[in-house]
Amino acid sequence: MDGNRVLVTGGAGFIGSNLANHLAADNDVIALDNGFLGTPENLDDAVEYVEADVLDDDLPTNVDVVYHLAALSSRQMLEENPREGARVNIEGFVNVVEQAHDDGCDTIVYASTSSAYGSRTEPSPEDMELEAATGYDASMLGRERYAEYYNNFYDALSCAGMRFFSVYQGYGGNEAHKGEYANTVSQFTEKIANGESPVLWGDGTQTRDFTHVDDIVRGLVTTAEHDVAGVYNLGTGEAYSFNEMVELINDALGTNVEPEYEPIPLENYVHDTCADISKIEEATGWEPQISFEEGVERVVEPYRDD
C-alpha cells in the first residue's frame, strides 16, 4: 500500500479514520462519511474528506482500493430502524461495489461482523455454520452473500470480508465520539478513571476477544496487499472476561473501583467470543502484535497525563 489512491467509506468513523490516517502517509486517501457515526475531526489533514452517503450516485470510486467500512454497526441501530439498516448495510454495499467495479477498481475490502458466530468459548472458524440471530447479523451476512456473488461473477474482482472482534482504542484515540457505542474497554476506563463504577451485565464472566485497532488496521492493509477474497476473522485468538478487564484497568490506573452488576437485558445476548485467526495468518502472514495487557496500558495512558 504505497502510492495508491484509496477510498475508505465510513472513513471518519472509529476504525475508518484510523485506517485512513495510517494510509495517508504513503497514499492518496479519500475518507467518505455522512457524519452520522463519524466526525471529520478524527482525520489528519493529509486525508481528503468527502461528506456523502454510500447510497448516493457518483461516489469517488475511481481508486485502486476500496475499504468499505460504512455501516449501521450495532444491534440496537438495526432494531430501531430495520429498513434503514438493511438499505445502508446491504444496498449501500452493492452500490459501492458496483460503482467501484464500473470505475475499474477490483480490490474491495469490507467490514462484516463476528457477532453472527453467537456465543462460543472455543475459537470460531470462518467456515462454521452461522445463524442470523439479530437484524444486524442478517444485514452483514447479506453483505457476505453479495460479496460471494461478486467474487464468482467478476473474474478480476476480489472482495474480502473482515469479521472484526471487539475492536478498541480508547477515548484518547478516535473512539470518544462513539459514546455508548464505544467498546466496553474504552467506556469502562473512562468511568474508572473518573471514580465511577462501570456497570457489568450478569456476573461479569462474559468474555470478548478484545482486538486493538492498530492490529485491525494492519490486517486491513495486509488483506488488500495480498488481494485475497472470501471472509476472514480479525481478532487475537484470546478472550478475557469483563471482570478481568476491569481488574486490568484498575491495576493500570492504580485505582480500586468496584463494578456494579445488573441482569442481562437482552435476549440472544452473546456471552463469549473468540476468533480462530489461522485463515488470515495462512493467507497473508498477519498476526496480532498487541496483547490485551499492552492495549489496556495504551487506553489508560491519556488519563495518567491529566
Task: Quote the CA–CA distance of 235 and 295 in Å, as a whole number.
Answer: 13
Helix, strand or coil for residue 88? helix
Three-state secondary structure call for residue 242: helix
CA distance 47 to 136: 30
Of how many residues is the chain composed?
Answer: 306
Residue 172: exposed, middle, or buried by beta-carbon count in 10 A (0-12, 13-18, 19+)? middle
Residue 264's Cα: distance from chain center in Å?
24
- Is 136 among the residues known to form the active site? yes
Helix, strand or coil, per DSSP, at residue 241 = strand
Rounded to 5°, the CA angle 294-306-184 comes to: 45
Catalytic position from the list 67, 110, 136, 171: 136
Q: What is the DSSP letter of 35?
A: S
In terms of Cβ atoms closer than 10 Å to its own Cβ (0-12, 13-18, 19+), residue 238 is: middle
Total Cβ atoms within 10 A of residue 164: 23
Cβ-count burial 112-130 (b if 16+ within 10 Å, e if not)? bbbbbbbebeebbebeeeb
State the catalytic residues. 136
